Amino acid sequence: MITDECINCDVCEPECPNDAIYMGEAFYEIDPHKCTECVGHFDEPQCVQICPVACIPLNPEHVESRETLMQKYERLTAIKVTTASTGA
């Protein structure tokens, strides 16, 4: 999750391999349904690594095991493949 300390520097959004980061009403937000904490893509959460003001803590309401995150990654990847093959 991104806290209200976010300075809207735009750095994290393009780094997310899952397109989970988007501009919210006041500052950037993360879609928890798309965020895999970078599991499946990288060893470390890319947005957390890159944020200059360290305002991206883990969301205590979305604590997920590595297995759950990997399953989400596989689901998201499957959706992407399906979308690409149908041209949608």
Binding interface with ligand SF4 (CB under 6 A)? 2, 6-12, 15-16, 18, 20-21, 28, 30, 35-38, 45-47, 50-51, 53, 55-56
Give least dist CB 87 to ligand SF4, A: 25
Cβ of residue 67: shortest distance to ligand SF4, in angstroms? 16
Task: Choose between 51 and 86: whose C-beta lies nearer to ligand SF4.
Answer: 51
Contacts 24+ apart (CB under 8 A), 9-15: 9/52, 9/53, 11/50, 11/51, 11/52, 12/46, 12/47, 12/50, 12/51, 12/56, 15/46, 15/47, 15/50
